[in-house]
Amino acid sequence: MSSIERRVDWQGVKKCLADIHQTSPEFLRRSVVIGGGACWFYRVQLEKNADPDFPFPIREATANDPWLSKDLDFTGIFRGDAYKLLPAFVETSTEGQRFLAVNGVRLGFAQVGVTFDPAEVFARARIAQFKSAQTHIEFLVIDPVSLYREKQALAQKRNQPNDHAHLETLNRYVAWEFVTTAERYAKNSNSELAQRQESIAFLLDVRDRALEITNLPNVRERIRALITQNTAEAAFIRELLS
Protein backbone atom coordinates (compact mmCIF):
# COMPACT_ATOMS: atom_id res chain seq x y z
CA MET A 1 0.00 0.00 0.00
CA SER A 2 1.43 3.41 -0.91
CA SER A 3 1.95 6.19 1.57
CA ILE A 4 -1.13 8.10 0.45
CA GLU A 5 -3.60 5.19 0.39
CA ARG A 6 -3.83 4.26 4.06
CA ARG A 7 -6.86 5.60 5.93
CA VAL A 8 -6.77 5.81 9.70
CA ASP A 9 -9.01 6.09 12.75
CA TRP A 10 -8.08 7.75 16.05
CA GLN A 11 -5.69 4.96 17.02
CA GLY A 12 -3.89 5.46 13.72
CA VAL A 13 -3.71 9.21 14.30
CA LYS A 14 -2.20 8.64 17.74
CA LYS A 15 0.37 6.22 16.31
CA CYS A 16 1.44 8.87 13.80
CA LEU A 17 1.73 11.51 16.51
CA ALA A 18 3.72 9.14 18.73
CA ASP A 19 6.18 8.40 15.92
CA ILE A 20 6.49 12.11 15.15
CA HIS A 21 7.12 12.80 18.84
CA GLN A 22 9.86 10.17 18.96
CA THR A 23 11.57 11.77 15.96
CA SER A 24 10.94 15.43 16.76
CA PRO A 25 8.98 16.69 19.80
CA GLU A 26 9.84 20.16 18.48
CA PHE A 27 7.56 19.60 15.48
CA LEU A 28 4.56 18.98 17.76
CA ARG A 29 5.37 22.13 19.76
CA ARG A 30 5.47 24.27 16.63
CA SER A 31 2.42 22.95 14.78
CA VAL A 32 -1.30 22.55 15.44
CA VAL A 33 -3.36 19.50 14.46
CA ILE A 34 -6.38 20.52 12.38
CA GLY A 35 -8.78 18.78 9.99
CA GLY A 36 -9.85 15.17 10.40
CA GLY A 37 -7.26 14.42 13.08
CA ALA A 38 -8.61 17.21 15.28
CA CYS A 39 -12.19 16.09 14.62
CA TRP A 40 -11.21 12.60 15.80
CA PHE A 41 -9.83 14.12 19.00
CA TYR A 42 -13.11 15.88 19.84
CA ARG A 43 -15.18 12.88 18.80
CA VAL A 44 -13.29 10.75 21.33
CA GLN A 45 -13.87 13.33 24.08
CA LEU A 46 -17.59 13.33 23.31
CA GLU A 47 -17.75 9.54 23.40
CA LYS A 48 -15.74 9.30 26.63
CA ASN A 49 -18.00 11.71 28.49
CA ALA A 50 -21.12 9.85 27.30
CA ASP A 51 -23.53 12.63 28.28
CA PRO A 52 -27.04 11.38 27.40
CA ASP A 53 -28.07 14.90 26.39
CA PHE A 54 -25.19 15.14 23.90
CA PRO A 55 -24.56 11.65 22.45
CA PHE A 56 -22.19 10.93 19.59
CA PRO A 57 -24.45 11.11 16.50
CA ILE A 58 -24.12 7.64 14.95
CA ARG A 59 -27.03 7.08 12.57
CA GLU A 60 -26.08 4.02 10.53
CA ALA A 61 -23.74 1.05 10.55
CA THR A 62 -21.42 2.61 7.96
CA ALA A 63 -21.19 5.92 9.78
CA ASN A 64 -17.49 5.43 10.49
CA ASP A 65 -16.56 5.44 6.81
CA PRO A 66 -16.54 9.26 6.39
CA TRP A 67 -14.37 9.49 9.50
CA LEU A 68 -11.42 7.52 8.13
CA SER A 69 -8.66 10.02 7.34
CA LYS A 70 -6.08 9.70 4.59
CA ASP A 71 -4.18 12.79 5.76
CA LEU A 72 -3.02 14.19 9.08
CA ASP A 73 -3.16 17.96 8.69
CA PHE A 74 -1.30 20.71 10.53
CA THR A 75 -1.13 24.49 10.53
CA GLY A 76 1.27 26.95 12.13
CA ILE A 77 4.38 25.51 10.46
CA PHE A 78 5.78 25.86 6.96
CA ARG A 79 6.26 22.75 4.85
CA GLY A 80 9.97 23.51 4.42
CA ASP A 81 10.49 23.67 8.20
CA ALA A 82 8.59 20.38 8.57
CA TYR A 83 10.99 18.69 6.12
CA LYS A 84 13.93 19.85 8.23
CA LEU A 85 12.36 18.62 11.48
CA LEU A 86 11.17 15.28 10.07
CA PRO A 87 13.78 14.18 7.51
CA ALA A 88 13.14 10.48 8.20
CA PHE A 89 9.57 10.83 6.92
CA VAL A 90 10.35 12.57 3.63
CA GLU A 91 9.26 10.53 0.59
CA THR A 92 9.27 11.17 -3.14
CA SER A 93 6.39 10.41 -5.47
CA THR A 94 6.82 8.75 -8.86
CA GLU A 95 6.48 12.25 -10.35
CA GLY A 96 9.45 13.41 -8.29
CA GLN A 97 7.49 15.47 -5.77
CA ARG A 98 8.56 15.38 -2.13
CA PHE A 99 6.04 14.86 0.67
CA LEU A 100 5.93 13.72 4.30
CA ALA A 101 4.27 10.47 5.36
CA VAL A 102 4.16 8.62 8.69
CA ASN A 103 3.00 4.99 8.87
CA GLY A 104 1.49 5.34 5.42
CA VAL A 105 -0.39 8.52 6.30
CA ARG A 106 0.45 11.67 4.40
CA LEU A 107 1.03 14.87 6.38
CA GLY A 108 -0.75 17.96 5.07
CA PHE A 109 -0.05 21.62 5.79
CA ALA A 110 -2.49 24.52 5.62
CA GLN A 111 -1.10 28.04 5.71
CA VAL A 112 -4.62 29.45 5.74
CA GLY A 113 -8.08 28.01 6.33
CA VAL A 114 -11.44 28.94 4.91
CA THR A 115 -12.32 30.75 8.14
CA PHE A 116 -9.20 30.73 10.31
CA ASP A 117 -5.85 32.49 10.44
CA PRO A 118 -2.94 30.20 11.46
CA ALA A 119 -1.55 32.70 13.96
CA GLU A 120 -4.93 32.98 15.70
CA VAL A 121 -5.34 29.20 15.69
CA PHE A 122 -1.90 28.80 17.28
CA ALA A 123 -2.78 31.33 19.98
CA ARG A 124 -6.09 29.57 20.74
CA ALA A 125 -4.75 26.00 20.43
CA ARG A 126 -5.35 23.52 23.23
CA ILE A 127 -2.72 21.22 24.69
CA ALA A 128 -3.77 17.60 24.24
CA GLN A 129 -2.02 14.51 25.57
CA PHE A 130 -2.02 10.74 25.65
CA LYS A 131 0.32 7.91 26.64
CA SER A 132 2.04 5.66 24.14
CA ALA A 133 4.33 2.83 25.33
CA GLN A 134 4.78 4.62 28.67
CA THR A 135 5.73 7.82 26.84
CA HIS A 136 3.76 10.98 27.53
CA ILE A 137 2.83 12.62 24.21
CA GLU A 138 1.76 16.26 24.10
CA PHE A 139 0.53 18.06 21.00
CA LEU A 140 -1.42 21.16 20.06
CA VAL A 141 -4.92 20.83 18.62
CA ILE A 142 -7.15 23.52 17.14
CA ASP A 143 -9.78 24.75 19.60
CA PRO A 144 -13.28 23.32 19.07
CA VAL A 145 -15.01 26.61 18.20
CA SER A 146 -12.50 27.44 15.45
CA LEU A 147 -12.77 23.90 14.11
CA TYR A 148 -16.58 24.02 14.23
CA ARG A 149 -16.64 27.26 12.22
CA GLU A 150 -14.17 25.87 9.68
CA LYS A 151 -16.25 22.72 9.21
CA GLN A 152 -19.38 24.82 8.76
CA ALA A 153 -17.71 26.60 5.88
CA LEU A 154 -16.27 23.42 4.38
CA ALA A 155 -19.60 21.60 4.56
CA GLN A 156 -21.16 24.39 2.48
CA LYS A 157 -18.22 24.79 0.12
CA ARG A 158 -17.31 21.14 -0.59
CA ASN A 159 -20.48 19.33 0.54
CA GLN A 160 -18.50 16.14 1.25
CA PRO A 161 -19.84 13.37 3.57
CA ASN A 162 -16.85 13.64 5.92
CA ASP A 163 -17.39 17.40 6.38
CA HIS A 164 -21.03 16.86 7.37
CA ALA A 165 -20.13 13.99 9.74
CA HIS A 166 -17.45 16.14 11.36
CA LEU A 167 -19.72 19.18 11.59
CA GLU A 168 -22.55 17.27 13.27
CA THR A 169 -20.19 15.90 15.90
CA LEU A 170 -18.48 19.25 16.51
CA ASN A 171 -21.88 20.89 16.91
CA ARG A 172 -22.66 18.30 19.59
CA TYR A 173 -19.25 18.67 21.23
CA VAL A 174 -19.28 22.49 21.43
CA ALA A 175 -22.82 22.37 22.84
CA TRP A 176 -21.72 19.83 25.46
CA GLU A 177 -18.69 21.86 26.51
CA PHE A 178 -20.72 25.08 26.61
CA VAL A 179 -23.26 23.50 28.96
CA THR A 180 -20.76 21.78 31.23
CA THR A 181 -18.62 24.92 31.40
CA ALA A 182 -21.66 27.00 32.38
CA GLU A 183 -22.62 24.42 35.01
CA ARG A 184 -19.11 24.33 36.45
CA TYR A 185 -18.91 28.13 36.52
CA ALA A 186 -22.32 28.52 38.18
CA LYS A 187 -21.83 25.82 40.79
CA ASN A 188 -18.26 26.62 41.82
CA SER A 189 -18.27 30.27 42.81
CA ASN A 190 -15.25 29.66 45.04
CA SER A 191 -13.09 28.08 42.34
CA GLU A 192 -9.68 29.51 41.51
CA LEU A 193 -9.64 32.79 39.62
CA ALA A 194 -7.73 31.33 36.67
CA GLN A 195 -10.31 28.56 36.28
CA ARG A 196 -13.19 31.03 36.45
CA GLN A 197 -11.59 33.26 33.83
CA GLU A 198 -11.01 30.28 31.56
CA SER A 199 -14.68 29.34 31.85
CA ILE A 200 -15.81 32.88 31.13
CA ALA A 201 -13.51 33.11 28.11
CA PHE A 202 -14.94 29.94 26.58
CA LEU A 203 -18.57 30.92 27.20
CA LEU A 204 -17.99 34.31 25.58
CA ASP A 205 -16.14 32.70 22.67
CA VAL A 206 -19.12 30.47 21.90
CA ARG A 207 -21.50 33.41 22.17
CA ASP A 208 -19.36 35.57 19.87
CA ARG A 209 -18.39 32.97 17.25
CA ALA A 210 -21.06 30.25 17.43
CA LEU A 211 -24.16 31.92 18.84
CA GLU A 212 -26.50 29.33 17.34
CA ILE A 213 -25.10 26.75 19.77
CA THR A 214 -26.53 28.66 22.74
CA ASN A 215 -30.03 28.42 21.25
CA LEU A 216 -30.12 24.64 20.83
CA PRO A 217 -33.04 23.09 22.77
CA ASN A 218 -30.84 20.66 24.74
CA VAL A 219 -28.52 23.51 25.70
CA ARG A 220 -31.37 25.75 26.88
CA GLU A 221 -32.97 22.89 28.80
CA ARG A 222 -29.81 22.08 30.74
CA ILE A 223 -29.07 25.71 31.56
CA ARG A 224 -32.63 26.61 32.56
CA ALA A 225 -32.10 25.55 36.17
CA LEU A 226 -28.86 27.52 36.45
CA ILE A 227 -30.24 30.89 35.43
CA THR A 228 -33.00 30.90 38.05
CA GLN A 229 -30.49 31.16 40.88
CA ASN A 230 -29.90 34.46 42.65
CA THR A 231 -26.15 34.63 42.15
CA ALA A 232 -23.69 36.75 40.20
CA GLU A 233 -22.77 33.69 38.16
CA ALA A 234 -26.39 33.03 37.22
CA ALA A 235 -26.81 36.69 36.26
CA PHE A 236 -23.80 36.45 33.97
CA ILE A 237 -25.20 33.36 32.22
CA ARG A 238 -28.64 34.98 31.88
CA GLU A 239 -27.05 38.00 30.23
CA LEU A 240 -24.97 35.72 28.02
CA LEU A 241 -28.11 34.01 26.69
CA SER A 242 -30.28 37.10 26.35
pLDDT in tens, 33-48: 999 999 999 999 999 9
* Number of residues that this document lists for the chain: 242
Q: What is the mean pLDDT of residues 92-99?
A: 90
The answer to whether 21 and 151 are in contact (CB under 8 A) is no
Q: Cα dist. 218→46, 126, 184, 229 in Å?
A: 15, 26, 17, 19
Burial 85-123 (b: 16+ CB within 10 A, else e): bbeebeeeeeeeeebbbbbbbbbbbbeebeebebeebbe
pLDDT value of position 193: 86
pLDDT value of position 58: 67
Task: Give the C-alpha separation, 172 to 178, whole Å.
Answer: 10
Q: What is the mean pLDDT of residues 120-135?
A: 92
Average pLDDT of the chain to the nearest whole number: 89
The answer to whether 73 and 14 are in contact (CB under 8 A) is no
pLDDT value of position 5: 57
Can you spell out the DSSP letters for 113-171? -SS--HHHHHHHPEEEEEEETTEEEEEEE--HHHHHHHHHHHHHHT--HHHHHHHHHHH
Task: Give the C-alpha separation, 241 to 220, whole Å.
Answer: 9
Report yes or no on whether pTM surpasses 0.85.
yes
pLDDT at 122 over 90: yes
Model confidence band, residue 71 (pLDDT cutoffs 50, 70, 90): confident
Strands 98-102 and 105-109: antiparallel
pLDDT at 73 over 80: yes
Task: Give the C-alpha separation, 17 to 23, whole Å.
Answer: 10
Q: What is the mean pLDDT of residues 130-155?
A: 94
pLDDT value of position 240: 87
Beta carbons within 10 angstroms of residue 216's beta carbon: 17
pLDDT at 138 over 90: yes
pLDDT value of position 81: 95
Residue type at position 154: L
Paired with 136 in beta bridges are 131
Task: Give the C-alpha separation, 86 to 81, whole Å.
Answer: 9
| Extended strands (E) in the chain | 32-34, 71-75, 90-92, 98-102, 105-109, 126-132, 135-141
Stretch among 25-29, 52-56, 89-93, 112-116 having the lowest mean pLDDT: 112-116
Model confidence band, residue 167 (pLDDT cutoffs 50, 70, 90): very high
Stretch among 34-43, 107-116, 210-219 having the lowest mean pLDDT: 107-116
pLDDT at 2 over 50: no
Using DSSP, state whether 189 is helix, strand or coil: coil
Q: What is the mean pLDDT of residues 150-165?
A: 90
The answer to whether 53 and 222 are in contact (CB under 8 A) is yes
Q: What is the mean pLDDT of residues 7-19?
A: 91
Model confidence band, residue 3 (pLDDT cutoffs 50, 70, 90): very low
Strands 98-102 and 90-92: antiparallel
Q: What is the mean pLDDT of residues 123-149?
A: 94
Q: What is the mean pLDDT of residues 186-213?
A: 90
